[in-house]
Amino acid sequence: MNTSGGKRAVVIGAGLGGLSAAAALAGAGFKVTVCEKNPRPGGKLNLLEMDGFSFDMGPSILTLPDVFRQVFAAAGRKLEDYLTFVPVRPHWRNFFEDGTVFDLDPDPEEMSRQLARLAPGLDRPFRRFLRYSKKQYDAVDDAYFKTAADNTGQMIRRASPLNLLKLDLFRTMDGAVRRRLPEPHLRDVMDFFIKYVGSSALRAPAFMNMLPNVQFEFDLWYVEGGMYSIARALSRLLEELGVDLRFSAEVEKISIKNGRAKGVILSDGSAVDSDCVVSNLEVIPAVRSLLPEDPALLRRLEKRFLPACSGLVIHLGTDRVFPRLAHHNFFYSRNQRGHFRSVFEKGELPDDPTLYVVAPSRTDPSVCPEGCDNIKVLPHIPARAGEGVFSDRDYGRLKERVLEKLERMGLPGLRESTVVEHVWTPEDIRKNYFSNRGSIYGVATDFRKNYGFKAPKVSPRYPNLYFVGGSVNPGGGMPMVLMSGLRAAAALRPADEERK
């Protein structure tokens, strides 16, 4: 039985965190209004349709499917009535400049065959590494995900000492990989699992080596009909729950009265009153633009919570198929550590980036015309939008370096076969999603700055203002963003409901 008494909640933004929070709050009896500045839901989970090609502009895969089930369960529904998940095989295909190509595959026998292509005797250290990765995941799950901790103090108080002791706390992710894996190609692959959260393996704490276990234990998935089907399903769910979904409704400011959030004012001057506010806008842009001026808080947030990386998002429709590509592919830098340093320490556009390349027609032929390929290319680059550091010409030169690299490393004729092209820069990402400096993944996981913690879900100034999305705990990536929405909703439920 719901006991919220018809309390009103307004959610700023219909990204996955906002949609998740809205579903859980509506399921608990809140009267929910969602205000989204763009004309459709999903936030960075976006869709581009051009000349028969359908491009997922945001996430291309999903992990931890049970988190998605939890969102629907919080609203009293079953995910399977809304979405169908399809496993991806192989998980990844990895391309190197020296001609080495090998796959990551969840099947142990196939994975052993792939490792044998690299060097003899790699199977044993790789299996040891996966056991270490599982140990880190289990510890993080128990000490951080399940405790909903927002800082070290909360985690220490809420987690068992045994789980805390299992965490690899005193090395970087890269340092732990190098200590456990002898083969350089395999090291580069394991280091680049940090791409899930848009950070650097040289600066992320070693317990982020939990990420390979997430993929190998819980598998890698695509959604039937394309990844944007998730946004459609959540929007349908909210409509069924009676949520007031408002699109092309940009929030101009959060109303504050007597130290509490009282609703929002839209750009057309209209007001939406509420008992609580949930912001899916990243914390720093929200503090900067939606709340009363607070320079001290803004400086503190900016010092600790640096933006995760951005990207040059290149969508290509070709008039031929490139059979060497799997669904998910990585084309590695000659110097992966140098790539991390150029992007995350020097703030430069990389000369030789590692490229994430997606060809979803391997799993879903409907995304492009027959005999064609649908290809997304994403090099990670610094989140510096709005600073005037890089020009469109700089991004154009990077695009040409990226396409030359792909043609050199296994996709000859890519440019001449391209019939559809669309490119988004960090400036486009910032303008469309109001993300901090054009960041894709929210807040960087940084050993020195925040030790992997993101901003807390509750405003330090206004007790009924909550934040969700990749800039708050537990961080970036679709499952974590959905989890943040569930956490905010749980914290907003009345105390008597929480005790049940």
Helix/strand/coil (H/E/C) assignment for every residue in 378-440: EEEECCCCCCCCCCHHHHHHHHHHHHHHHHHCCCCCCCCCEEEEEEECHHHHHHHHCCHHHCC
Provide the domain count of the chain.
1
Q: Which of 290, 221, 218 is nearest to 251 (CA)?
A: 290
Average pLDDT over residues 95-108: 98
Rounded to whole angstroms, how far apart are CA atoms 304 and 447?
Answer: 11
The enclosing H or E element of 40 equals none
The answer to whether the beta carbons of residues 33 and 244 sit under 8 Å apart is yes
Asked, for residue 332, whether it belongs to a domain, the answer is: no
pLDDT band at residue 497 under the 50/70/90 scheme: very low
Q: In sequence order, which residues have a C-beta less than 8 Å from that of residue 206 and are 6 or more positions away?
A: 136, 168, 169, 170, 171, 172, 173, 175, 176
Rounded to whole angstroms, how far apart are CA atoms 288 and 305?
Answer: 14
pLDDT band at residue 2 under the 50/70/90 scheme: very low
The pLDDT of residue 162 is: 87
Rounded to whole angstroms, how far apart are CA atoms 234 and 23?
Answer: 8
pLDDT above 70 covers a percentage of the chain that reads: 98
Give me the amino acid identity at 256: I
For the cut 70, the answer to whether the pLDDT of residue 147 exceeds it is yes
Average pLDDT over residues 196-210: 97
The pLDDT of residue 35 is: 98
Asked, for residue 431, whether it belongs to a domain, the answer is: no
Rg, the chain, Cα only: 22
The pLDDT of residue 493 is: 77
Asked, for residue 139, whether it belongs to a domain, the answer is: no
Paired tokens of 391: 């020009």
The pLDDT of residue 91 is: 98
Q: Which of 2, 23, 28 is nearest to 11 (CA)?
A: 23
| String of DSSP letters for 192-244 | GGGGGGT--TTTSBGGGGGHHHHHHHH--EEETT-TTHHHHHHHHHHHHTT-E
pLDDT band at residue 1 under the 50/70/90 scheme: very low
Rounded to whole angstroms, how far apart are CA atoms 421 and 74?
Answer: 40
Average pLDDT over residues 352-376: 97
For the cut 80, the answer to whether the pLDDT of residue 397 exceeds it is yes
Rounded to whole angstroms, how far apart are CA atoms 268 and 221?
Answer: 40
pLDDT band at residue 498 under the 50/70/90 scheme: very low
Q: In sequence order, which residues have a C-beta less than 8 Å from that of residue 499 and are 6 or more positions away?
A: none
Average pLDDT over residues 289-298: 96
Asked, for residue 459, whether it belongs to a domain, the answer is: yes
The enclosing H or E element of 326 equals none
Q: In sequence order, which residues have a C-beta less than 8 Å from that of residue 146 and are 6 or more positions away?
A: none
Asked, for residue 107, whether it belongs to a domain, the answer is: no
Paired tokens of 405: 């690299």
The pLDDT of residue 163 is: 85
Rounded to whole angstroms, how far apart are CA atoms 291 and 101?
Answer: 50
Asked, for residue 260, whether it belongs to a domain, the answer is: yes
Give me the amino acid identity at 70: Q
- Per-residue pLDDT tens digits for 442-452: 999 999 999 89
For residue 347, with 0-12 CB atoms within 10 Å meaning exposed, 13-18 middle and 19 or more buried, which class applies? Answer: middle
The answer to whether the beta carbons of residues 491 and 213 sit under 8 Å apart is no
Rounded to whole angstroms, how far apart are CA atoms 441 and 287?
Answer: 18
Mean confidence (pLDDT) of the chain: 95
**CA 192-195-201 angle, 5° bins:** 55
Give the three-state DSSP class for 223.
strand
Asked, for residue 258, whether it belongs to a domain, the answer is: yes
Query: What is the CATH number for 489?
Result: 3.50.50.60
The pLDDT of residue 6 is: 76
Instruction: Name the residue range of residue 257's domain.
Output: 8-45+65-77+227-304+454-498
Asked, for residue 205, whether it belongs to a domain, the answer is: no
Average pLDDT over residues 250-276: 97
pLDDT band at residue 499 under the 50/70/90 scheme: very low
The pLDDT of residue 5 is: 57
Rounded to whole angstroms, how far apart are CA atoms 473 and 482?
Answer: 11
Give the three-state DSSP class for 48.
strand
Q: Which of 489, 470, 127, 463 is nearest to 285 (CA)?
A: 470
For residue 348, with 0-12 CB atoms within 10 Å meaning exposed, 13-18 middle and 19 or more buried, which class applies? Answer: middle
The pLDDT of residue 211 is: 98
**Lowest model confidence (mean pLDDT) among 153-162, 347-356, 407-416:** 153-162
Give me the amino acid identity at 387: E
The answer to whether the beta carbons of residues 176 and 209 sit under 8 Å apart is yes
Q: Is the dihedral of CA 222, 374, 193, 111 positive or negative?
A: positive
pTM of the entire structure?
A: 0.95
